[in-house]
Structure 1
Amino acid sequence: MINKIINNEEVKRPAVNILVSCIAGILTFNIVKVSFLGAVLIAASFFLIHFFIYSKNFIAVIIIFFIASYVNSMVYYNFYTNTEDVFKVEVLNSKSNICEIGRQSFKLQGKLPELKDGGKYVLYGRLERKADYEKGIVGAIEVSKYSCLKNGFSGSSNEKQDEFYNRMKKYIGEDGTALVCSAAFGYTKYLKDDENTLMSKFGIIHVVSVSGFHIAVVYSIIERLLGFKVALLISFIYTIFSGGKSSTWRAFIMILILKLSKKLYRNYDSISSLCFSAILLLCYKPYYLYDIGFELSYLSTLGILLFYNKLRRKFYKLPELISDTFCISISAQVFSFPVATLSLNNFSPNFMWGNLFLLPMFTAIVILGNIAFLLMFNDKVFTISAYIIKLFIVALQGGISFIDQFSLKVTTINFNIVYGYCLILICIYMYSKGYRKAKAVAWAVFVCVIVSLYSFQTKVTLINENKTKALLIEQGFKRILIIPNLTGYSYNVINKKYYPTESLKWVNKQPYVEGNIAVMPKDKEKEIVIVNKGKSYIVALNNQCYICKQYYDIIKTSGKGELISSKKASDVLSDTIIESEGDNGD
């Protein structure tokens, strides 16, 4: 047993410290490739903190796991023993041309067959080591020749799922079947972007991609019917069948530890179990540390474990269904909110309605979808199952239409809010440990965030990125983005960079009035008219800011796509004042 000593007291959860040491080892390995000094600082800070807090015996254990994690990452990215030009691979992601050899991932390029997810191939070519640490890519295989092999379990599963889709769509349509396939066993091949966006809007995107929720549903039902041994076996098969995502392995490992602890008469600690599952997954695939699904799964679960019961005690007067939904939804957001916002650059305030009204119907679809899949061999039973599923799909569509009437818009979150939120969380923790001054620090952080979000003077930013023109109007707490298309890659890039509170479609010769300013894009003349009712405003032009004191300004775009002011304005930009044609507002 690990000697768990901390200042002559027992360490309650050594698995937490071991997990942190594994994460530090992975980060150190990845950063040393970019900055040796940065890697040294991370390692030194990590060891100094443990040196001042823990005993020498426990520090020795931490160092062992740190080194083991570092070496494991080195082995994953640097040690591939195949010296020949023949590679036996299994396709992991056909759209991105990603394959696996053992636990290692490779990028495929060159002369490729029509790849299928889960398909096995023999490739002839050359390996180029070109590591991508965030995606876990060891290198690229330049393929010159190939041959197909018989599908393994994953490939055969995908073929069966395709067969299920083709049969089920005759009864409930393509969109409904795509939703059933993704919800029941994580087969998202046929799921459209619009449906993904809709699920994100209501905060239940995890439902259409197999997660711990699905494992919990499958295990609980099988255990009641056939006992825990059969339930564990079927859950294990289901985890592999559904793609073996990190969130499903996390749930399976935690259930396994929980059940074994009861059989072995051991105490079960949920946080230690959570950390242990993370350690196992990071040992197998170190790049999971950068996987958004891995991060959100563990952070959401950690929030539920720490805060769910506390919130239940606070809201015990609410009906049980509402109380459970509210407490789980809020506790899951505590730690996952910053990561989700920084990664996705938006936040949906509708997650409560999605969990309350839509999740129960998805639970039924998960159960019925898997039953229908298992009974495909019986046409009559399959048909009955399909019509029952159709009823829930119709009910789901009705629920979505109902919630959509009072749902709020998905908002883009300013990164200052996220950073302030994290600092306030730290202050709350410090305050709970007896540091009373942390309360004042939290209020100071809150005020600083509010001030950073407020624009004291009207500002118009003229944007020209990725061959897309756009305008950003800032007034008070509002940030209005006017852009030709509200979807697509260019919009996502601009939206993430400027985090508007509202986005409007750019329409030629249509005035946009916001507070004391009116803007009218005129594409045919390649100019933008700005009318100001106030005394002055700021224009951000070609990454430089200028004060505008006139009532009427015209900003033109050059042939090169650059934004310039018209006539007299271009002559005086160096004086930081735009003077263009029009009446003087002063």
Structure 2
Amino acid sequence: MDRDTFGFPMVYYAFAIFIGSLYAMAYKDSAVVATIFSIILIVIIAFTINYRDLIIVMCFFILGAASNFIYFDFKAPSSQGMEGRIVEQNEFNYVAKINGKLVQLDGVYNSEIREGSRVLIKGAYEKYPIYNRGVVARCKVEECTLSKDDFISKIYDKKKNFYLLLKEQMGEDKAAVVVALCLGDDAYISEEHNEKLKILGIVHAISVSGLHMAIIYTFIKKALGSNLALIGAFLFLIITGGKSATVRAFVMILVNDLAYRCGEKYSAYSALSISAIILIITRPFSAASPGFMLSFLGVIGILMFNHKIERAVYKLPKTLRSTIALGVSAQVFTFPYMAIVFGQGNINFILGNLILLPILTVVIVLGTLALIFCKIPLVFIMLCKGMEFILICYEGYREILLKLSFGIMSLGYLDAVLFIVIITSFILMKKGHKKLVYIPLAFIIAVGISRYKFNVNISYFKMAYSDGILIEYKDKSTFICDDSKMIKNIEKVREIDNFVTVDNLKSCAMNLDEDFKVSYLDKAYTKNSKKDILAFSCKDKINNVFVKDSKDVSKESIDGNYNIEVLPQGENRFYKNEVLAKYIIVGHRIIRIK
């Protein structure tokens, strides 16, 4: 095996275990497609390595698949009482770790239960996999009581007490920022603040990441040496909950330190690969987790393009040059991933990274010192006053940048493909393939055309106990929903031209153009007074009807032939907006495309 930069064995092994884990998840939906796709990738790898290395690669592939199958193989417990720890809490449900696996808890009404609590759960369990979150089952809780606190529970209590101490000195909002930066607990961050950071492209600054690990390690190393720095970094990993980004950063730091001590050459790609292998073996669902993917894609982009971009802008001042190179290189792979998975993108990250991140870096250092000296009132108060002043400056700069920002862009698969094509074409053109300039132009035209909807496009959204319908036609989009919270969540990820409530649509039909309109059926057409019957009519004749239950509409009451489409109800899986179905109306036909 060639052991150049991209040829270290660990890179192949990490890729194999990653593909194996994805294969196991895809196998449950389509065994044939998953198998064919995996075979193609393995065959491609086989052409670049020798027979002995291929056997090892295949072993890692099997390890990735086996660990995933084992993790998601849930069997309902014979005993009703199961002990676990609450690891996630939202307004709809809890998630507990039980015997090393995540279980969604529905129907927990004990106000004393919080994130980090040890609990005894009694209820009915059923297999309920949510692959990108690692949830294997769901429990309809009959009784949930607190168990005896342990070391981890006490860590959560210490976090809360630290927040309360900070809150007394600098107020709720500033204390929330410090706790998020230093302890990885963003539960106190307001939704408004979070949205502002998303717009500026630096939400990772308050979500514990490799950046925070690097700052803590570097600070302790300069002050106390590398041995204590490693211990401090490990403690930071434990305190912040061992998230994918911090595990990845700690492993890379550890490998770098060991390589230096042993007199060996450090390979960032091998270190990154080792961290990926550890995470996928211990948390098989990581391969489908957005946090895992964004962390690793960002680092891969930095390793591949940071120095090249920095050389390209060598005329700029060093600080500005480094910030631009780091920010842009991190976005090379994360930008298309965000477009595909979240349907959005952001170009404000350069200013955010350049101006706000250095300020927050100082807060991380001071906040860590405040945590250490929280038992010494005078020192603690002085540190809090320093952080308060810095955070006032941070808030001022943040508001200025928000006024200069471009907002969050609504993107999709084609936008991601276009971005990848432009980057690939640019690299190849630099190597002498000048004629490739026409390929991005062709894709730009195609993406522009795709944004214009020649037929009515309908997306049916579900958010816990609410639902809504997005209608896109020509260059306009309309969202129909009565839930203000759902509307607010949709606005975060999509550019919507018009919002319409059900009551407004019942009283007055909405015209999509001169002939085509949308309305709710009145009582003359329905068998009861339900309000979920959406009708599309052309030239005042109803031809397409969407219902939640086909029994709700009386076909004989409607003039003309038409189609009835029953909307899928799905499960109240979690709090995020989820597209349960997509449709296109072509003439008098409804075509379901998802």
Q: Is the TM-score greater than 0.5?
A: yes
State the TM-score, normalized to the length of structure 1: 0.81
Q: Deviations over 1:247-267 (max 9, x none)?
A: 011111101111110110111
The CA distance in 2 between the partners of 1:267 and 1:538, in whole Å, is 70
List alignment gaps of at least 5 residues for structure 2. Answer: 523-530, 543-558, 563-585, 589-594
The CA distance in 2 between the partners of 1:215 and 1:469, in whole Å, is 42
2:509 corresponding residue in structure 1: 527
1:512 corresponding residue in structure 2: none
The CA distance in 2 between the partners of 1:266 and 1:300, in whole Å, is 26
| Matched letter for residue 509 of structure 2 | E
| Matched letter for residue 558 of structure 1 | L
Q: Does 1:489 align with 2:486?
A: yes
Q: Does 1:98 align with 2:116?
A: no
The CA distance in 1 between the partners of 2:405 and 2:483, in whole Å, is 19
1:423 Cα offset (Å): 3.9
- Aligned with 2:357 (options 333, 354, 359): 359
1:386 Cα offset (Å): 1.6
1:558 corresponding residue in structure 2: 521
2:591 corresponding residue in structure 1: none
- Aligned with 1:407 (options 405, 408, 418): 405
The CA distance in 2 between the partners of 1:402 and 1:212, in whole Å, is 27
2:117 corresponding residue in structure 1: 119
| Matched letter for residue 226 of structure 1 | L
Q: Deviations over 1:318-369 (max 9, x none)?
A: 0111111111111111000011222322222211111111111111111122
Q: 1:69-468 to 2 correspondence within 5 Å? A: 69-78=64-73, 84-95=79-90, 96-109=93-106, 113=110, 114-124=112-122, 127-141=125-139, 143-145=141-143, 147-427=145-425, 440-453=438-451
Structure number with higher relative contact order (C-alpha < 8 Å, ≥ 6 residues apart) = 2
Describe the SS at the equivalent of 1:130. strand
Give me the CA root mean square deviation.
Answer: 3.6
Kept in 1: contact 2:481–2:487 (CA 8 A): no
Kept in 1: contact 2:510–2:517 (CA 8 A): no
- Aligned with 1:34 (options 29, 33, 53): 29
The CA distance in 2 between the partners of 1:463 and 1:275, in whole Å, is 39
Kept in 2: contact 1:522–1:529 (CA 8 A): no
1:59 corresponding residue in structure 2: 54
The CA distance in 2 between the partners of 1:353 and 1:473, in whole Å, is 35
2:570 corresponding residue in structure 1: none
Q: Deviations over 1:156-175 (max 9, x none)?
A: 12211211222222222212
Q: Deviations over 1:90-128 (max 9, x none)?
A: 221133421223532223346664422222234455654
Kept in 2: contact 1:103–1:284 (CA 8 A): no
- Aligned with 2:13 (options 2, 14, 18): 18
1:524 Cα offset (Å): 8.3
Cα gap change, 1:45 to 1:469, in 2 (>3 Å)? closer
Describe the SS at the equivalent of 2:138. strand
Kept in 1: contact 2:323–2:354 (CA 8 A): yes
List alignment gaps of at least 5 residues for structure 1. Answer: 509-520, 531-536, 543-555, 579-586
Describe the SS at the equivalent of 1:89. strand
1:409 Cα offset (Å): 2.0
| Matched letter for residue 451 of structure 1 | I
| Matched letter for residue 373 of structure 2 | L
Cα gap change, 1:153 to 1:65, in 2 (>3 Å)? same
The CA distance in 2 between the partners of 1:487 and 1:341, in whole Å, is 25
The CA distance in 1 between the partners of 2:389 and 2:6, in whole Å, is 53
The CA distance in 1 between the partners of 2:479 and 2:143, in whole Å, is 49
Q: Indicate the percent of aligned positions where both proteins have the same amino acid.
A: 25
The CA distance in 1 between the partners of 2:539 and 2:204, in whole Å, is 55
